[in-house]
Amino acid sequence: MQVKHPQPIIEVQGLNFSYGAHPILKDISFTIEEGDYVAVLGPNGGGKSTLLKIILGLLDPEQGSVRVFGEGIKKLRHRERISYVPQRAAQEEAQFPATVAEVVASGTVAGSPLIGRTQASSQKAVRIALSTADIGQFADRLVYNLSGGERQRVYIARALAGQPKILVLDEPTAGVDVEAQQHFYRFLKQINKDFGLTILFASHDIDVITHQADTVLCINQRLVSHGSTDDVVHSAAFRQLYGAHPRQH
């Protein structure tokens, strides 16, 4: 029997990016395989958010290329296959007077194929997303009445309602307490496992993240290290950047 190997889903080659005269990313290259659960770690100002925006096509690199699903990001035909939860999205939008179900349903618009999606299929997608995120009991509640951790699940459910292949999150647990963070990342790992969803998220929280993700990209303007979580956090390059291993949980 032929063994099926994971395929590259994101390919980054030779990225360079600066804001004016200030370099942010220098010669970044890596590949992410389909179904991987990847943490992008690095200090504040190290280029994590910039890297995600380049991968998403929101910023153009000065040099280098990004391919997603084997296509250049600027020519990607099915952008609905990538869902993005930006930094502090839940906090910034929490005061909007919408119910949980309404917020989640908005994700089906971005995820609709060109031929359109029927009302029944959209409703089914919302039900599945609510159930997957375990927030069905909150469907009729206003989002701003939820806790930070619960709101995070709402925005993940909105992303899932579009039925993406890749989920990208930038500092998804900002403003959420440590216990809620651990629950949140375990939830991400579960949907990664259950649905084969490729997840890429940025954070600078070493202690929580390195015990959840399967793969780590350590960025500090340059690619410091890339590989399995255990290999990265025990590497000399990682120790040089952070000074110590993460605490054991």
Mean pLDDT by groups of 10 residues along the chain of 249 residues: 68 94 94 94 89 93 93 81 76 70 82 52 84 88 84 86 89 74 82 90 78 88 91 82 58
pLDDT, position 65? 93
Q: What is the DSSP letter of 99?
A: B
Q: Supply the pTM of this predicted model.
A: 0.83
Helix 178-195 / helix 148-161 crossing angle, nearest 10 deg: 20
| 15: nearest Cα among 50, 39, 58 | 50
Give the separation between CA 100 and CA 125, rounded to whole angstroms: 14
pLDDT, position 197? 92
pLDDT, position 123? 82
pLDDT, position 3? 47
Domain ranges of the chain: 1-82+208-249, 86-164
pLDDT, position 246? 56
pLDDT, position 92? 56
pLDDT, position 53? 94
CATH number of 1-82+208-249: 3.40.50.300
Residues 6+ apart with CB under 8 A from 143: 93, 94, 96, 98, 99, 100, 103, 151, 154
Tokens 């992008």 found at:
40
